[in-house]
Structure 1
């Protein structure tokens, strides 16, 4: 975890020292759970906040956070059923984005997701590759989010960010 925090701090410091201007992004995402826990959760919902600096031609880097939750399902029926609690996380990550063209980009978030749900739970390593469409004021993306720690809680997401 220390390495992840130090990496995010290094990206933040490098971008702050070298960038002329930055963009603040505020957005939301929705996704379908996949992988190890797809039978336990129905949907992934969340809000995203990021600040990125232009560090090179067509490349920006920065920091991102927000809140993401996986909504639990009721498993079984009748007397043998139980409800899976929601799993909420606060991501702390470095983010990078490369513009393939004026309209298309590839990006990734790497960091740590702090567990913020009810009951017992652990955080884990967060990774999210993205592909999207962008304008000067907004971006729409598709991505695969994974939170790994003794299994992977993952989802295929669709997101929208407004740029300030």
Structure 2
């Protein structure tokens, strides 16, 4: 009798998990948006503003967790003046610093309207002389409508210099 009870409880739990996954899967999967950031660390000596495009596709793993892929484009506007790094000074017309991040994404949903997560991957350097580097972007997001999310994030790219940035973004969910 005990074995039948355990089997029935396990079947009920599996059924409930599939039904909650089905409800979660009905939510949107494709995301597109923009963000603006303020660089700090070594890069702040060279630039003071960043703007970017965010694209992502997520799959529901459960009611609380999404995993997916993210990419986009980041353009850091460089100050075209003299930059003093202490041991050497750069002068001249500097190109903007550009990255194309390619990353795995994970989101945890404590509630439907609030999410925590991170993107981890590689930021491909687009402009000449930019080698790219390891890309890490933890974030916190809040749904402000049925198909709109506002998020704040910290971006870290391990390059030849310290690229760190705080960003505010808006995503549209499709």
TM-score (normalised: structure 2): 0.76
SS in 2 for 1:83: coil
The structure having more radius of gyration, on CA atoms, is 2
Query: How far apart are 1:148 and its partner, in Å?
Result: 0.5
1:94 aligns with 2:104: yes
Structure 2 counterpart of 1:114: 124
Contact 1:41 1:84 (C-alpha < 8 Å) held by counterparts: no
State the secondary structure of the residue aligned to 1:57. Answer: coil
Equivalence for 2:72: 66
The match for 1:76 among 82, 102, 108 is 82
Matches within 5 A, 1:7-46: 21=25, 23-46=29-52
Gaps of at least 5 residues in structure 1 are 1-18
Task: Report the alpha carbon displacement of residue 83 of structure 1 after superposing the two structures with TM.
Answer: 2.8
In structure 1, distance between residues paired with 2:92 and 2:167: 27
Query: Once the 2 structures are TM-superposed, how far is the Cα of residue 140 of structure 1 from its aligned partner?
Result: 0.4
1:53 — aligned with what? 59
Match for residue 127 of structure 1 among 124, 136, 161: 136
Q: Which residue of 2 aligns with 1:160?
A: 170
Moved over 3 A (4+): 19-22
Greater percentage in helix: 2
Give the Cα separation in 2 of the matches to 1:162 and 1:149. Answer: 30
**TM-score between the two structures when normalised by the length of structure 1:** 0.81
State the Cα RMSD in Å: 1.8
